[in-house]
Amino acid sequence: MRVADELVGIHATEPTSPYVGLAARTGGIPQADIATAMFDERSLIRIIGMRRTLFVVPLELAGVLTAACGRAIAAAERKRAERMLFDAGITKRPGPWLRAVEAEAMAALEAAGEATATELTKVVPGFRKRIAFGAGKKWAGEVGVSTRVLFLMSMDGRIVRAQPRGTWVSGQYRWAPLERWIGGSLADPSEAVARSELLRRWLRAFGPGTLTDLRWWTGWGLGEVRKALEGVETAEVELEDGGRGLVLGDDVDAETTATPWAALLPTLDTTVMGWFERDWYLGPHRKALFDRAGNAGPSVWWDGRIVGGWGQNRDNGVVVRLLEDVGADAKRAIEAERKRLDAWVGGIRVTPRFRTPLETELSAE
């Protein structure tokens, strides 16, 4: 829980990323212990946060994310869902129709305790409707009303993703009423207080950073970022590239030293995705380690920068490819991490949803 808190949440769009990311930072905490924290103790939950992205966070932070990000996203997404329902010809009064379906879904979840979208579709008639999108486009398709409604309800802080079906690599979640799942309610700060707190936490974990970093990471407009920073004591510092960045006021004179370290971080890792301006730690490796949409693949770190990537070969063994010469000491440390991760994964296939060029190449070996 401490790691998730200090990183301002663990990126969880990929179902396996919280597990691999936490293991990398704790010396290999077992998958079962992480599952216990999320599904038995429930001290960690999955929740929508910055940039409409899923994060695994401690309960205290979950309230901050909902107030700072979730509700604003939900309001915009609700308008979008209502427009889609109207355009699809499902109803001429999308607002009342949507609220009625949400009420039916909530009642079904309260009765069941927890359920999958498929299970809810059997008892909530509105969930059986399908919404067409992208007519005439290459990306045209359909989405079930259940997907839209559950997404809205989770962003509103009414329901939460509970234990998935299957193992730790599964992304098919059950849903549960949030207050029932955690045995109470989340903290409910004002949006202004929550946004300032979120930026304070980011600066503590990732500073120094630029306004561009903050704008990208939060998904807010520049004006919203500046407004939230009014509630945070910051100082401006010069960055290594000559630009200007922000740190917390009490971090101006902070000096940290650490012995060189190696890490194999997962797809869409919190640290990899922590900044928008990444050249200082990514170097020339973006093309190999990111997909075209900007999603980061599995990466190899040495002493605070990315030096390669990793994946699993055809036999599900963890393999590494370095993209630059790092020296003998670094190679030994990286190999030790590769062996540790290989044993930790235990031959289970961890296939990213977002495939990158290097990871795809390694999977064919």
Q: Residue written as tokens 């949400």?
A: 102
Report the pLDDT value the prediction gives residue 255, as an integer from 0 to 100: 64
**Mean pLDDT, rounded, for 211-238:** 96
CB-facing half-sphere around the CA of 116: CA atoms within 13 A: 10
**What are 140-159's pLDDT values in tens digits?**
678 889 999 999 999 889 99
pLDDT at 307 over 90: yes
**Residue ranges of E strands in 104-261:** 130-133, 141-144, 159-164, 173-177, 234-238, 244-248
Contacts of 307 (CB under 8 A, 6+ apart): 285, 300, 301, 322, 323, 324, 326, 330, 334
**Mean pLDDT, rounded, for 241-261:** 83
Give the pLDDT band (50/70/90) at residue 351. Answer: confident
> Which tokens in the block code for residue 166?
């299957």
Report the pLDDT value the prediction gives residue 321, as an integer from 0 to 100: 98
Residue 55 near residue 11, CB atoms below 8 Å? yes
Per-residue b or e along 256-270, where b marks 16 or more CB atoms closer than 10 Å to that residue's CB: eeeeeebbbbbbbbb
CA dihedral 277, 6, 161, 78 (to 10 degrees): -50
**What are 253-268's pLDDT values in tens digits?**
766 667 899 999 999 9
Report the pLDDT value the prediction gives residue 68, as an integer from 0 to 100: 96
Taking the model in full, what pTM does it have? 0.92
**Mean pLDDT, rounded, for 84-99:** 94
Residue 208 near residue 237, CB atoms below 8 Å? yes
Question: How many CB atoms within 10 Å of residue 161?
Answer: 24
The secondary structure of 88-122 as a DSSP string is TTS-S-HHHHHHHHHHHHHHHHHHHSSB-HHHHHT
pLDDT at 283 over 90: yes
Contacts of 53 (CB under 8 A, 6+ apart): 11, 13
The rounded distance, in Å, linking the Cα atoms of 267 and 18 is 10
> Which tokens in the block code for residue 345?
């994964």
The rounded distance, in Å, linking the Cα atoms of 338 and 361 is 17
Report the pLDDT value the prediction gives residue 317, as an integer from 0 to 100: 97
Give the pLDDT band (50/70/90) at residue 136. Answer: low
The rounded distance, in Å, linking the Cα atoms of 219 and 50 is 6
According to DSSP, the residues that pair with 88 across neighbouring strands are none
The rounded distance, in Å, linking the Cα atoms of 193 and 151 is 25
Report the pLDDT value the prediction gives residue 365, as an integer from 0 to 100: 87
Q: Which domains does the chain have, with CATH numbers?
A: 2-182 (no CATH), 191-251 (1.10.10), 262-363 (no CATH)
Per-residue b or e along 84-101, where b marks 16 or more CB atoms closer than 10 Å to that residue's CB: bbeebebbeebeebbeeb
Report the pLDDT value the prediction gives residue 203, as an integer from 0 to 100: 97
**Mean pLDDT, rounded, for 153-181:** 93
pLDDT at 164 over 80: yes
Report the pLDDT value the prediction gives residue 144, as an integer from 0 to 100: 87
State whether residue 233 is helix, strand or coil.
coil
pLDDT at 333 over 80: yes
Look over the chain and give the mean of its residue pLDDT values, rounded to a whole number: 94
Residue 318 near residue 308, CB atoms below 8 Å? no
> Which tokens in the block code for residue 259?
């012995």
Report the pLDDT value the prediction gives residue 29, as an integer from 0 to 100: 95
According to DSSP, the residues that pair with 144 across neighbouring strands are 130
pLDDT above 90 coverage of the chain, percent: 88
pLDDT at 134 over 80: no
Degrees, nearest 5: CA angle 336-28-53: 110
According to DSSP, the residues that pair with 287 across neighbouring strands are none
Report the pLDDT value the prediction gives residue 242, as an integer from 0 to 100: 87
